[in-house]
Amino acid sequence: METQNKNISEIIKFSKEIIKTAYKKSNLTKLKSSYFVFHSGDNCSKKILVLLNAKHDKVYQYITTAVNKGAIGIITDCKINEKKLNIKVSIFVLKKLALCLNSFLEYLHNDPLANKFIIGVTGTDGKTSCVHLLAQSFNYLGKTIGIISSEGNGEYSNLKKNMYTTPPPHILFKYFSEFRKKNIDIIIIECSSQGLDQNRLKNIKFNQSIITNITKDHLEYHKTLNHYMKSKVKLIDMTSDKIYLNKDCPSTKKIINMFKTNAQIIYYKLDNEIKFKNLNLDDNLPTRYNLSSIASILKGMNISSSKICKVFKKLNPVTGRNNYIVTDENISFYVDYAHTSQSLKILLEGIKRKYSDSSFNLITIFGCGGNRDVAKRSLMGSIAEKYSNTIILTDDNPRNEDSNKIINDICSGINDKNKLIIIPNRKRAIRKAVSIAKKNDIVVLAGKGNEDVIIYGANTVKHNDLKYLRSVIK
């Protein structure tokens, strides 16, 4: 902590000298966040660029771009050879910038999280739904809620779309400042494994945290399951009051040995008191677990079971998460974000179980993301084959990979090729599913949820599964 405080003092000293000169403010006492910029593509005029985790072959380009746009100083964790720069600019290099950036931002924004009640949610599957259902629950209990989530940031009634699950620190603190101005009662943060690993949430003091479950995901980044789990466990290390763990998740036994905490550990499992008959939510395993964890949290806040039941009756589905549409021809469509082998298995297995007394064909549309965990592709193919009568393989953010290669990887897990239809264009794939579905059939669109684009290399194609499906079946 002493070293960190010293580093922050040095950043402040460096920044003040530059700002005093540029703005002719000899009596400057406090720095403002408006003096800083965090991307060379933004307005850099008379600002200090804070450059974090830049690739070495790009760092000189970013600095040059920023200075040409009027940047007056650079703070970075990258080693800089000033001889390679054709411009003159003051540069402060701090190797461990990532570890103290949040404390510096806390200083710039005047400690916006002081006295705020903060809940962190992490896990492989279900964390977005958990965040939004929890936010709805608190809203109905009269609390004002601020959330950070892959489905939007801001006050819960007025969310703004974003590119991240857990945004970079400078974006986080911008929202934290807004939450303070709006007197938000509770802040709920969806914590991604990368966000935790990259210290985006460093020094944030969580009152409570939830781990929904942990299975394999993002191994293209973490390399090993152990590293992935350790990243998730960082949230527990930052939690002071209560930690909610899924007792039924096999990984819970493993992670319990990865941390030491003074916080109270509360294990939740399926709450059989929750009756879905009068709820707006579809009765499926992920929703049951999310409501069970939320019920556990609310009970821990001394909210009665009868009041919790009343709240749950008012909850609405999270957009793009297990959304259900039925047509006049009695064809059912499910749109879900399931993009891991475990989440796809639970989704399809749950549908088969729910409709076990009916005769129907299950048509599953899905793909796998490029530049992501390759090992899961064949496994997802195998799972789709087990539960589906027809499988339509299509694109799901190929990114910088060849779409056909991704589809071939999935195909390697499918033995019965007679079940298989390959249509890389996702819109055409959806139209095909609609055209072949008959009365009582069920069509599942998995993997994209409420995402608005498909990523192809440096380009994006506008597409939203829910919106497009509705336009086709209307």
Domain segments of the chain as ranges: 2-105, 117-314, 323-473
Residue 214 has pLDDT above 80, yes or no: yes
CATH T-level topology, domain 117-314: UDP-N-acetylmuramoyl-L-alanine:D-glutamate ligase (3.40.1190)
Query: Which amino acid is located at 430 in the chain?
Result: I
Residue 215: which pLDDT band, with cuts at 50, 70 and 90?
confident
Alpha-carbon 390 to chain mean position = 30
Residue 276 has pLDDT above 80, yes or no: no
For 101-155, give the DSSP string: HHHHHHHHTT-TTTT-EEEEEE-SSSHHHHHHHHHHHHHHTT--EEEEETTEEEE
Across 51-62, average pLDDT: 89
Q: What is the CATH number of domain 2-105?
A: 3.40.1390
Percent with pLDDT over 90 in the chain? 78
Place of tokens 């990887």: 409
Cα(280)–Cα(85) distance, integer angstroms: 60
Residue 273 has pLDDT above 80, yes or no: no
Query: Which amino acid is located at 441 in the chain?
Result: D
Residue 1 has pLDDT above 70, yes or no: no
User: Of how many residues is the chain composed?
Assistant: 474
Across 50-64, average pLDDT: 90
Q: Tell me the CATH architecture of domain 323-473.
A: Alpha-Beta Complex (3.90)
Domains 2-105 and 323-473 share a fold: no
DSSP secondary structure letter of residue 324: E
pLDDT at residue 57 in the model: 79
Asked if 449 and 465 touch (Cβ cutoff 8 Å), the reply is: yes
Across 315-324, average pLDDT: 92
Query: Which amino acid is located at 452 in the chain?
Result: D
Across 10-27, average pLDDT: 93
pLDDT at residue 258 in the model: 85
Asked if 396 and 366 touch (Cβ cutoff 8 Å), the reply is: yes
Residue 85 has pLDDT above 90, yes or no: no
